[in-house]
Amino acid sequence: MSSVQSESSVNSTFVRPATFFINGFSNIPHGKYYYVFLSLVYAVTVFGNSFIMCVIYLARRLHTARYIAVFHLAFSDLCGSSALIPKLIDMFLFDHQDVLYESCLTNMFFIYHFMNMQSLTLLTLAYDRLIAICFPLRYHAIVTKTSMCLVIAVMWIFSVPYFSVYVSLVNRLSFCRTNVVDSYYCDHGPVYRLACNDYSINVLITKLAFGLLVCLPLILIIISYSCISLALRKIAHGGDRTKAMKTLTSHLLLVAIFYLPHLSVNILGFTTSLNPNVRIINNSLTQTIPPMLNPIIYTLKTEEVMQSIKDLYKRNKVKNITTI
C-alpha cells in the first residue's frame, strides 16, 4: 500500500491517495480458487457472447430490430465482464492490488456504465415484446431497425454523462485515513466511505442510480409483462398462446437472472449490516454470472437463433464440400 499524498495547495486538509489498495476477500481459506472459478466464467462469457454476436451478424434472418437489441446486450455483457474480471484476476492471482487513483476511477466508470447498458437493454427487449404481442399488426411499423438504433444511441447518450458525473464526484472527497477498499474492484460505495469529508451527495447519487437504473426499468418490465399477459388471455387458440409464451421465456429468464440478485444484494445492504465477504461474493456472482448465462439462454431457448445456427452450419458444410 502506498502512502496517501496531498493534492491541494489551497486546502491542506484535502488529500488524495496515489493508489487504492483493493482488499478483496479477507480471511477466506483457499480464496484463490474462487478467482480461478471467475476465470472460467470469463472464458465462457467471452466465447458465448462472441458466438451469439457472430451468429446475429452472419445470419440474415436475424437482421431485425429485435436482434439489434440482442446484439447490444451481448456486446454490453462482453464489455462489462472484460472491464471487471481480467483486472480482478490480475490483482488477486498476481498480487497487483495497488491500483492507481486514475485507473481506479476509469475502471469504476466502465463497470457501472456497462451494467447500466445491460439493464436498459433488457427494458428495450421488454418493449419489443410488448409491441409484438399487444400490437402485432403495427409491430414492423413501430419497431424498425432505425428506431432500435435510435433507442440504443439515446441509452448511450444518457449513460455516459451520468456515470461520468457519478465517478467524477469521487474527486471532491478527501481520503485522509486509509486507502484500503473493502471490495474486489473499485466499487463506488466502499470508495466514497473512505472519505473524511462529507460524502452525502455520493450517497444521494448512488440511491438515485439504484432507483432510476435498476428499480425503474424493473417496474416498467413488470408493467410490460402484465400487459402482455392480458393480451395473451385474449388469444383464443391454445397453440398460438403457447408459441407466444415460448418467445417470452428466454427474456423472462434474463430479467430474473439480472435483476433479482441485484435487488436482493442492494436491499440487504440498505437494511442490514452484511459481512464484507458475503457482500463481495454476492456482488461478484451478480455481476459475472448473468453475462455468462445470457447467450446460453438465448441460444437454447430461442428457435430463431437455433435455426440460424443450423443454417450457418449447413452453409459452411456445403462450402467446405464444394472447395474440396
CATH code of 242's domain: 1.20.1070.10
Residue 223 in grid coordinates: 408493467
In the predicted model, is pLDDT for residue 277 greater than 80?
no
In the predicted model, is pLDDT for residue 282 greater than 90?
no
Predicted TM-score (pTM) of the model is 0.88
In a domain, 159, yes or no: yes
d(CA 9, CA 13): 9
In the predicted model, is pLDDT for residue 9 greater than 70?
no
Span 300-321, mean pLDDT? Answer: 77
Nearest Cα neighbor of 150 from 161, 158, 140 is 158
Confidence at residue 19, expressed as pLDDT on a 0 to 100 scale:
92
In the predicted model, is pLDDT for residue 106 greater than 90?
yes
Three-state secondary structure call for residue 22: strand
Q: How many CA atoms lie within 13 A of 299 on its CB side?
A: 17
Number of domains in the chain: 1
Q: What percent of the chain has pLDDT over 90?
A: 43
d(CA 97, CA 184): 9
Query: Hey, which residues does 20 pair with through a beta bridge?
Result: 99
State the distance between the two ends of the chain, measured CA to CA, in whole angstroms: 61
In a domain, 39, yes or no: yes
pLDDT band at 21 (very low <50, low <70, confident <90, very high): very high
Answer whether 272's CB lies under 8 Å from 279's CB.
no
Query: Hey, which residues does 16 pair with through a beta bridge?
Result: 5
d(CA 168, CA 163): 8
Confidence at residue 285, expressed as pLDDT on a 0 to 100 scale:
85
Confidence at residue 152, expressed as pLDDT on a 0 to 100 scale:
96
In a domain, 194, yes or no: yes
* Spatial CB neighbours of 167, under 8 Å, sequence gap ≥ 6: 105, 108, 109, 112, 188
69 to 33, 126, 127, 137, 305: CA distances (angstroms): 35, 10, 11, 21, 14
In the predicted model, is pLDDT for residue 297 greater than 70?
yes
Residues 254-268 have pLDDT tens digits of: 888 888 887 877 777
Three-state secondary structure call for residue 3: coil
| Residue 51, amino acid | F
* Range picked from 90-104, 126-140, 148-162 for highest mean pLDDT: 148-162
Average pLDDT of the chain is 85
Give residue 193's domain range.
29-312
In a domain, 4, yes or no: no
Span 22-45, mean pLDDT? Answer: 82
* Rg value, the chain, Cα: 22
In a domain, 13, yes or no: no
* Spatial CB neighbours of 255, under 8 Å, sequence gap ≥ 6: 122, 126, 218, 221
pLDDT band at 249 (very low <50, low <70, confident <90, very high): confident
d(CA 252, CA 9): 54
- CA 163 vs. chain centroid, Å, equals 14
Span 35-44, mean pLDDT? Answer: 90
pLDDT band at 102 (very low <50, low <70, confident <90, very high): very high
Nearest Cα neighbor of 112 from 205, 218, 34 is 205
Span 61-88, mean pLDDT? Answer: 93
Residues 139-185 have pLDDT tens digits of: 999 999 999 999 999 999 999 999 999 999 999 999 888 899 988 89
* Range picked from 37-51, 170-184, 204-218, 270-284 for highest mean pLDDT: 37-51
d(CA 68, CA 145): 7
Confidence at residue 170, expressed as pLDDT on a 0 to 100 scale:
93
Confidence at residue 272, expressed as pLDDT on a 0 to 100 scale:
67
d(CA 187, CA 269): 14
In a domain, 123, yes or no: yes
In the predicted model, is pLDDT for residue 274 greater than 50?
yes
